[in-house]
Amino acid sequence: MINQSHPEKEEREAGDVKLYPCDERLRAEILDLRGTNAWTNNSLAAQIGYTDAVVSQYLGVGGNRYAGNVKRVEKKFMEFLRDQRLSLDASVASIACDVSRQVEEAIEDIRTSKQIGAVLGEPGIGKSRGIHLYCADHELAIPLFVWYGERNASSAEECLFKSADVARVKRGGREAKVLAEKMAGSNRIIIVDDAHKLTCPALQLLYDFRDRTGLPIALFGDHRLIEKLRNDPQRLSRTGSVYTLKLKVTEDLIEHHIRQIIPDVNGEMASLKKLCTTIAREAGHFRSVQMELARAVRLKKGCPDWSWCEAVRAAHTRLIRDYELAA
C-alpha cells in the first residue's frame, strides 16, 4: 500500500491553527457540485489526494476560512474542476433503449433459469449502460465491473465480498468458502461486465462459486469471452445459454446523444443525425458517437465560426477511424 502524506494534517498537528480566507467562488462551485452530482467529501478527497477531513474543513467547518495551506488545496480543486468539465463534455444520461431491453431480457432469463449465461455484444453497443439500468431497478443484483488491474481469482473474490455486502471473515484462508456459505440459496444474480478480461482461474472461481451457491451468473463480454469458454470444455458445458446483443440504431437514441452533448444544434439536427448514424453503425458504435461529439464541442470552442457538422467532421479526422464521413 502506498503511504500518502497529507500536508494539511501535518500542519494542523504542528499546531498551525491560523485560518486563511478561501476563494469564495471556487468554494461555492465545489459545494454546488457536491450538492447536485452525488459527490461526497470522501469521493472528492479521493480525486484531489487529500483526506475527507480536509475537504470537510475546507467546505464547511471553518466557514469561508481554512486552517492550512489554502492555496495548495485550492490548486488541487481547480485541477479537479478542469478535468471534470472535460469529462462532462461526453456525459450522456442512460435511457432505456432497444439494447438495454435486450440486456434486461437476457439477465432475467439467466436469473429465472438459475444458470450461468454468456451475453455477447460488440464494444460500445451499450452493455455497461444496460447493466447499470438493470441494477438501478434490481437492488439485489450483484454487479462486478472488471478491469485489467483486477481480473485474477483473488480480485474476483474481493469484488464478490464488496459487492455482495457480506462481512469478510477469515477461516484458515478459505474466504470464498465463507462467502459461499452466506450466499447459498439467496438467488441473487451476479452480473459480470467485461468478463472477457477475467483470467481463466477467475472464471473458474465464478463457475465453482455458482456450483456451491446455486446463484445465477450473467457474464457480459465480447467474442473473447466465448473463446475462453470454448477453450475449457467443462466450463462450456456448464454454460446454460449464450445471448448475442443486436445493435439497433434508432433516431430517438441518436438525437438523445446529440442533445446531451451539443448545447445548441442551431438547426443542424437533421444533418447531425445522419453523421452520427454513420458513426454509430461503425466500430465503437455509441461510444464513438460520444467521443466524436465531445471532440467536436472542444474544437468548436476554438473555431466558433464552424458549423456543428464541420466540427464533427474535423473531430472525425483527429480520431482513429478507418472510414470517412460523407460530405
DSSP assignment letter at 192: E
Average pLDDT, the chain: 82
| Mean pLDDT, residues 242-257 | 93
pLDDT range class, residue 1, cuts 50, 70, 90? very low
Measure the CA–CA gap between 41 and 44, rounded to whole angstroms: 5
Contact (CB, 8 A) for 106 and 244:
no
Contact (CB, 8 A) for 109 and 119:
no
Asked whether the predicted pLDDT for residue 188 surpasses 60, the reply is yes
Residue 262's H or E segment, with its range, is none
Measure the CA–CA gap between 194 and 146, rounded to whole angstroms: 6
pLDDT, tens only, 276-294:
999 999 999 998 999 899 9
H helices of 143-268, where?
Answer: 153-164, 175-183, 200-213, 223-230, 233-237, 251-261
Fold of the domain spanning 7-88? 434 Repressor (Amino-terminal Domain) (1.10.260)
Select, from the ranges 4-13, 21-30, 311-320, the one with the highest average predicted confidence (pLDDT). 311-320
Measure the CA–CA gap between 191 and 79, rounded to whole angstroms: 35
Q: What CATH number is given for 98-244 in this structure?
A: 3.40.50.300
Measure the CA–CA gap between 218 and 114, rounded to whole angstroms: 10
Looking at the DSSP bridge assignments, the partners of residue 145 are 193
Select, from the ranges 26-30, 35-39, 132-136, the one with the highest average predicted confidence (pLDDT). 132-136
pLDDT, tens only, 149-173:
678 887 777 777 776 666 555 544 4
| Mean pLDDT, residues 10-30 | 64
What is the reported pTM?
A: 0.69
| Mean pLDDT, residues 298-314 | 94
Contact (CB, 8 A) for 118 and 217:
no
| Mean pLDDT, residues 232-261 | 92
Asked whether the predicted pLDDT for residue 6 surpasses 60, the reply is no
The residue extents of the domains of the chain are: 7-88, 98-244, 251-318
In whole angstroms, how large is the CA radius of gyration of the chain?
Answer: 24
Measure the CA–CA gap between 224 and 116, rounded to whole angstroms: 17
Burial class (CB in 10 A: 0-12, 13-18, 19+), 197: buried
Asked whether the predicted pLDDT for residue 297 surpasses 50, the reply is yes
Under DSSP, is residue 56 helix (H, G, I), strand (E, B) or coil?
A: helix
Measure the CA–CA gap between 232 and 244, rounded to whole angstroms: 20
Following CA atoms 134, 135, 138, 144 in sequence, which dihedral angle do they give, to the nearest 10 degrees? 130
Of the listed ranges 10-19, 29-38, 222-231, the one predicted with least confidence: 10-19
| Mean pLDDT, residues 217-239 | 92
- Which residues, at least 6 apart from 24, have a Cβ–Cβ distance to it below 8 Å? 64
Asked whether the predicted pLDDT for residue 13 surpasses 50, the reply is no
Measure the CA–CA gap between 30 and 92, rounded to whole angstroms: 21
DSSP H helix total and E strand total for the chain: 16, 7
> So what's the pLDDT on residue 172?
45
> So what's the pLDDT on residue 269?
96
Q: How open is the CA angle 254-255-256, to the nearest 5 degrees?
A: 90
